[in-house]
């Protein structure tokens, strides 16, 4: 160990810091493959979340559109019924 190697010099090592590690070629290749796989996985997850959100927003848009169309139809029917009622009342009054 470092402590044992330093004793003949009269040194005591309390801590040390590793500043650089150079992995061999095979380990470097494996690390690169793992990093690429993780990036690919994150890309797929983000794409799936985006697809899900797009589908939800599209569905909400269709729902709002159908609701607005239905409300418009209801207003039209009420207006036509009111106009028909007024016509009948005016005809009954002889006008």
**Predicted TM-score (pTM) above 0.85:** no
Asked if 23 and 31 touch (Cβ cutoff 8 Å), the reply is: yes
The residue among 86, 69, 11 whose CA lies nearest residue 2 is 11
Give the pLDDT of residue 95.
Answer: 67
Give the pLDDT of residue 45.
Answer: 98
- d(CA 3, CA 89) in angstroms, rounded, equals 110
Other CB atoms within 10 A of residue 26 CB: 8
Give the pLDDT of residue 27.
Answer: 96
pLDDT along the chain (95 residues), means of 10: 88 88 94 98 98 97 97 97 94 83
């Amino acid at each position: 160990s470092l402590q044992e190697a330093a004793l003949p010099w009269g040194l005591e090592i309390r801590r040390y810091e590793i500043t650089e590690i150079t992995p061999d070629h095979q380990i470097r290749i494996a690390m690169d493959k793992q990093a690429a796989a993780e990036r690919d996985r994150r890309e797929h997850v983000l794409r799936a979340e985006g697809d899900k959100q797009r589908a939800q927003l599209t569905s909400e848009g269709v729902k709002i559109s159908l609701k607005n169309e239905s409300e418009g139809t209801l207003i039209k029917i009420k207006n036509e019924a009111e106009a028909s009622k007024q016509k009948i009342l005016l005809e009954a009054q002889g006008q």
